[in-house]
Amino acid sequence: MLNALLMIVSALLIILTLLQGGKSDGMSGAFTGNGGLNLFANTKERGSEKVISDLTLVLGVAFFALVILIRIV
């Protein structure tokens, strides 16, 4: 039962992560350091972008909790 739930949460987490828009300059910016990738920047997400971001956070926490719960049980 928990394994099936973990697989569903994993699939939804992957889909939501892929739906999020990119906020960097692409691969060249990742290697050269251009664009100032700041993980702690205050971003103003609105509408569906905020909903997707919040759902990704919730599913990430649920994934972490399920993995620990499956390991304990």
Task: Tell me how many domains the chain contains.
Answer: 1
Q: What is the pLDDT of residue 1?
A: 92
The answer to whether 62 and 12 have CB atoms below 8 angstroms apart is no
Please report, in angstroms and rounded to a whole number, the separation of the first and last CA atoms in the chain: 12
Range of the domain at 48: 2-72
Structure confidence by residue, pLDDT tens digits, 11-32: 999 999 999 877 655 555 555 5
Q: What is the pLDDT of residue 30?
A: 54
Structure confidence by residue, pLDDT tens digits, 35-51: 555 666 666 778 889 99
Extract the tokens encoding 23. 């906020």
